[in-house]
């Protein structure tokens, strides 16, 4: 363990010094340098090149030391006067070449108070611009008084007595804090795998339950994600009975002939819903559902996913049937436009839309 000492100076004798607990900088490994030279000259910004850092105990002691010193030795900036010897903080010099004045003891030459600031000029070479600005509302500066040494020695003794991370020069440093042993983690039982979250199926598909494989109509079952893909299944206890589960003596019912599929464009009606079948650019047929509005206004044709699979050739409307539906809804079922003129209402479906039927 490395230590560093915070010391002060007087004109007569050096006061008792105090040490704060430090440890090797973990960022640079105690070398003081880290990273390329183009970044802060290669100096480790964790320790500032000092090769060590205060421990938690040392940092707490140093904070208490600084607080007591500012409380008992600081004089407000507005009370400073010429001849006072104060601890001048470090500050940059605003010149063409720039520069930096370090923290040290300086003698006040003149004090000027203007616009909430206290401008303090120090004795020395005028070319060095030895001046500093304090705020009238700020804490001020530490002033070297005849009682300074005794007060500072008392502060050091008090901090070294109260905190384990500090000790006076000549004393034995306190034992290093041992890390608290960590309690072993209790073995946790494996978490049960939750059932997959299901949603109502928007599209039809083949049931994924074992032994079923029947078609699940859109909205009649549920779907969930399995291994990155969506699968569909019947709801609980809704899978249809398979042929293997039926009694052997029951003769199989004759299957109804499958309805003829839709092969042409036109207007169709299934379960009281009107559809317009169209052909895409790729040649596939798809259906749009006709949604009536209010008094003919607001009608629309919206793409109905999967609806083409439920339609058959027998559902196709004739021109007269499409016209009758258009007259009753006051909107053309082919283009969804509102019928306003008496001629349009009488015809139901115009000559252009008749070709599409």
When comparing pLDDT for 102 and 106, which is higher? 106
Question: Which pLDDT tens digit goes with each residue over 80-103?
Answer: 899 999 888 776 655 545 556 778
Please state, rounded to an integer, the average pLDDT across all residues of the chain. Answer: 82
Strand order across the 104-114 sheet: 85-88, 104-114, 117-122, 131-135
The percent of residues in the chain predicted with pLDDT above 70, rounded, is: 87
Which pLDDT belongs to residue 356? 75
| d(C-alpha 77, C-alpha 118), whole Å | 6
In this predicted structure, the answer to whether residue 206 has a pLDDT above a threshold of 60 is: yes
- Separation in Å, CA 121 to CA 74, 124, 126, 221: 18, 9, 10, 87
pLDDT per position as a tens digit, 289-331: 988 888 777 888 899 898 888 898 889 888 888 888 888 888 8
pLDDT of residue 174: 85
- pLDDT tens for each residue of 138-148: 778 889 999 99
User: Taking the mean position of all CA atoms in its chain, how far away is CA 350?
Assistant: 58
Helical segments of 32-175, H only: 56-73, 148-162
Which ranges constitute the DSSP H helices of the chain? 56-73, 148-162, 319-329, 342-347, 351-356
Burial class of residue 242, CB neighbours in 10 A (0-12, 13-18, 19+): exposed
Instruction: Compute the chain's Rg from CA coordinates.
Output: 46
> What confidence category does residue 10 fall into, taking pLDDT thresholds of 50, 70 and 90?
very low
The pairing of beta strand 131-135 with beta strand 300-303: unpaired
Which phi and psi (to 5°) does residue 252 adopt?
A: -70, 130
Task: Write down the pLDDT at residue 243.
Answer: 39
**Closest C-alpha to 285, from 297, 272, 276:** 276
- Above 50 in pLDDT, residue 26? yes
Flag the least confident range among 48-62, 96-110, 183-197, 202-216: 96-110
Residue with tokens 């490994």: 29
Asked if 313 and 260 count as a contact pair (C-beta separation under 8 A), the reply is yes
Q: What gap in Å lies between CA 89 and CA 75, rounded to an integer?
A: 14
DSSP state for residue 191 in the 8-state scheme? P
User: Can you give the pLDDT at residue 4?
Assistant: 45
Adjacency order of strands within the sheet including 199-200: 199-200, 221-226, 229-234
| Whether this model's pTM surpasses 0.75 | no
8 A C-beta contact, residue 253 and residue 236: no
- pLDDT recorded at residue 156: 94
DSSP 8-state code for residue 248:
T
C-beta of residue 287 within 8 angstroms of C-beta of residue 268: yes
Confidence of residue 158 (pLDDT cuts 50, 70, 90): very high
> CA angle, corner 147, sides to 141 and 152, nearest 5?
70
Query: In the prediction, which pLDDT does 8 show?
Result: 35
Alpha-carbon distance 19 to 290, whole Å?
A: 87
Phi, psi dihedrals of residue 236, rounded to the nearest 5°: -60, 130
Residue 2: pLDDT above 50? Answer: no
Reported as a single tens digit per residue, the pLDDT across 119-143 is: 888 888 665 667 788 888 877 888 9
Res 155 pLDDT > 90: yes
Question: What is the rounded average pLDDT of the residues 246-255?
Answer: 63
Share above pLDDT 90 across residues of the chain, in percent, rounded to a whole number:
18
């Amino acid at each position: 363990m490395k230590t560093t000492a915070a010391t002060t100076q007087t004109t007569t004798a050096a006061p008792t010094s105090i040490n704060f607990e430090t440890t090797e900088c973990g960022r640079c490994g105690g070398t003081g340098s880290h990273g390329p030279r183009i970044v802060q000259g290669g100096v480790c910004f964790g320790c500032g090149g000092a090769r060590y850092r205060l421990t938690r105990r040392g940092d707490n002691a140093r904070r208490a030391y600084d607080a007591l010193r500012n409380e008992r030795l600081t004089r407000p900036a507005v009370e400073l006067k010429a001849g006072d010897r104060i601890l001048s903080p470090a500050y940059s010099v605003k010149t063409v070449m720039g520069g930096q004045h370090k923290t040290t003891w300086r003698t006040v030459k003149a004090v000027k108070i203007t616009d909430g600031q206290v401008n303090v000029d120090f004795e020395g070479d005028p070319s060095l611009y030895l001046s500093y600005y304090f705020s009238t509302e700020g804490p001020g500066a530490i002033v070297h008084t005849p009682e300074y040494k005794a007060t500072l020695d008392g502060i050091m003794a008090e901090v070294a007595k109260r905190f384990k991370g500090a000790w006076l020069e000549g004393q034995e440093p306190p034992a290093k804090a041992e890390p608290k042993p960590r309690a072993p983690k209790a073995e946790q039982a494996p978490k049960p795998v939750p059932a997959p979250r299901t949603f109502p199926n928007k599209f039809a598909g083949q049931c994924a339950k074992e032994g079923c494989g029947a078609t699940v109509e859109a909205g009649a079952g549920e779907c969930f994600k399995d291994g990155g893909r969506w699968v569909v299944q019947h709801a609980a206890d809704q899978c249809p009975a398979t042929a293997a589960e039926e009694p052997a003596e029951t003769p199989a019912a004759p299957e109804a002939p499958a309805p003829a599929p839709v092969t042409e464009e036109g207007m169709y009606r299934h379960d009281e819903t009107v559809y317009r079948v169209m052909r895409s650019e790729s040649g596939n047929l798809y259906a749009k559902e006709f949604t009536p509005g209010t008094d003919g206004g607001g009608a629309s044709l919206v793409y109905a996913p999967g609806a083409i699979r439920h339609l058959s050739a027998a559902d196709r409307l004739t021109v007269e049937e499409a016209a009758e539906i258009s007259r009753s809804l006051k909107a053309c079922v082919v283009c969804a436009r509102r019928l306003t003129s008496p001629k349009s209402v009488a015809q139901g479906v115009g000559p252009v839309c008749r070709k599409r039927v």
